[in-house]
Amino acid sequence: MALLDFFKFFGKEENKSKDIAKERLKLVLIHDRANVSPKFLDLIKGDIIKVISNYMEIDETGLDIRLSRIEQEDDNYTSALVANIPIKRMKNIGKNNG
């Protein structure tokens, strides 16, 4: 047994296959769950419009929100909710609360 193997044997088992399984499942389920329910993104969309509208006037027809996969530095992918929200005009709240 090489020294390296020796440490691997006793050391923290890092690449346990069950952890890999769990991570993969979590990611795949994010997409499954969002995709099976078309209402899901619409619900989020509605809520986002509500919140943002308190602060700025937005172009609701140009609003684009979707789930996508983003590549990280370590070559792994993570899921992200990506929203593109065109702003028409800022409201005055920000200014007054300064």
Contact footprint for another protein (CB under 8 A): 9-13, 16-19, 21-22, 24-26, 28-29, 32-33, 36-37
Shortest distance (Å) from residue 81 CB to another protein: 19
CB 83 to another protein: min, Å: 24
The CA-based angle 41-62-44, given to 5 degrees, is 20
| Residue 8 per-residue DSSP state | H
Structure tokens given for 91 = 């409201």
Nearer of residues 17 and 61 to another protein, judged by Cβ = 17
Residue number, 33 or 66, with CB nearest to another protein: 33
Q: Are 31 and 67 in contact (CB under 8 A)?
A: yes
